[in-house]
Amino acid sequence: LLLCALLARLQVALQIAPPCTSERHYEHLGRCCNKCEPGKYLSSKCTTTSDSVCLPCGPDEYLDTWNEEDKCLLHKVCDTGKALVAVDAGNSTAPRRCACMAGYHWSQDCECCRRNTECAPGLGAQHPLQLNKDTVCKPCLAGYFSDAFSSMDKCRPWTNCTSLGKTVEHHGTEKSDVVCSSSLPSRKPPNEAQVYLPGLIILLLFMSVALVAAIVFGVCYRKKGKALTGNVTGNSNSTFISSGQVMNFKGDIIVVYVSQTSQEGAAVAAEPVGRPVQEETLARRDSFAGNGPRFPDPCGGPEGLREPEKASRPVQEEGGAKA
């Protein structure tokens, strides 16, 4: 009877206890106990009277799942000497993630980082670059070039010479860039010519007008000089009119040289050229041409007077003589 009672009580207990099928539980001593959450480890398991004891992970440790582990896991070391860098530092609930440096990729053959393949000139690395994968090279398209071996550089566009104010001297290829000339043809000389041309034209016109004016002035001056040099005739007491000027041989005189001589009859026809003509001073101009009284001649008779001579004949100017 006693044995039957014990079996009955055990059967009831098994029916009441929950099944340990959840990922957050474990079975111990005939009961389901809780596992430790991520970031903690199991310090002691449950008993018939107490639950599991969990403690947090230490520095540089982690556990990323519900667990019944007795210690935490260590984070990986990203060794830069092996071309590894940390892409995710991690924490107590997540592991640290390492990856190969730029220019390297992860190789499963050696479980290490290998240097990426370098693309030859004319080929460029396909972007975006994929982390921990080898370089994919592709040919440069028209208008692009690659002139060096590189595992990271993509094809670059040709230089735009026009935007730099230059012209294309040599066309580019898939392996070389365009060669630009030093500069575009300078437009400065045409601009300077446009600025100075009007001034040059004005200067030439001014010089031409000045030259013509000088020639005309010279011709007129020569004609006027010839007109002023008329033929003068008369004796020592005659009054002369030559080109509008009255001259008399009385009193103080001013000597004027005339280029041509006058003719007064046959007696004076052979007089030389350049004969001096005596002109009255300003004090005695009123007696010119017989318009004023005659002054006594100091070389006359005892009374100092001489009979006035006959009026002198008017001077014939060169033009009138010829007429």
CATH number of the structural domain spanning residue 155: 2.10.50.10
309 Cβ neighbours under 8 A, 6+ residues apart: 237
- Tokens representing 15? 């029916």
pLDDT confidence of residue 108 = 83
d(CA 260, CA 264): 13
The rounded distance, in Å, linking the Cα atoms of 137 and 127 is 9
What domain range is 156 assigned to?
A: 102-181
25 part of a folded domain: yes
Q: Show which of 136, 160, 181 is a domain's final residue.
A: 181
Same domain, residue pair 170 and 107 = yes
In a domain, 256, yes or no: no
Write down the pLDDT at residue 187: 54
pLDDT tens digits for range 222-254: 777 665 554 444 444 544 444 444 454 444 444
User: Taking the model in full, what pTM does it have?
Assistant: 0.41
Query: pLDDT of 62-79, one tens digit each?
Result: 999 999 999 999 999 999
Structure tokens at 188: 């400065």
The answer to whether residue 53 is domain-embedded is yes
283, 208 Cβ separation under 8 angstroms: no
92 confidence band (pLDDT: 50, 70, 90): very high
- pLDDT tens readout for residues 2-30: 545 544 454 444 444 456 878 899 999 88
- Distance separating alpha carbons of residues 311 and 289, to the nearest angstrom: 9
Count structural domains, the chain. Answer: 2
Distance CA 134, CA 129 (A): 9
Q: What is the mean pLDDT of residues 207-226?
A: 82
Alpha-carbon distances of 193 from 188, 200, 207, 227, 262, rounded to whole Å: 9, 10, 20, 50, 63
Residue 197 domain-assigned? Answer: no
Which residue, among 183, 110, 85, 104, has the nearest Cα to 151 in the 3D structure? Answer: 104
For residue 67, tell me if it sits in a domain.
yes
Q: Is 313 exposed, middle or buried (0-12, 13-18, 19+ CB in 10 A)?
A: middle
Percent above pLDDT 90 for the chain: 36
Task: Examine the fold and report which residue of 70, 97, 124 is the final residue of a domain before the chain moves on.
Answer: 97
pLDDT in tens, 47-64: 989 999 999 999 999 999
Check whether 199 has a pLDDT greater than 60.
Answer: yes
| pLDDT computed for residue 146 by the predictor | 96
Residue 30 belongs to some domain of the structure: yes
For 27-48, what is each residue's pLDDT tens digit?
Answer: 998 899 999 999 999 999 999 8
**236 — phi, psi (to 5°)?**
-70, -20
pLDDT tens, residue by residue, 97-126: 999 888 889 888 888 999 999 999 999 998
pLDDT at 196: 64
Mean pLDDT, residues 131-147 taken together: 91
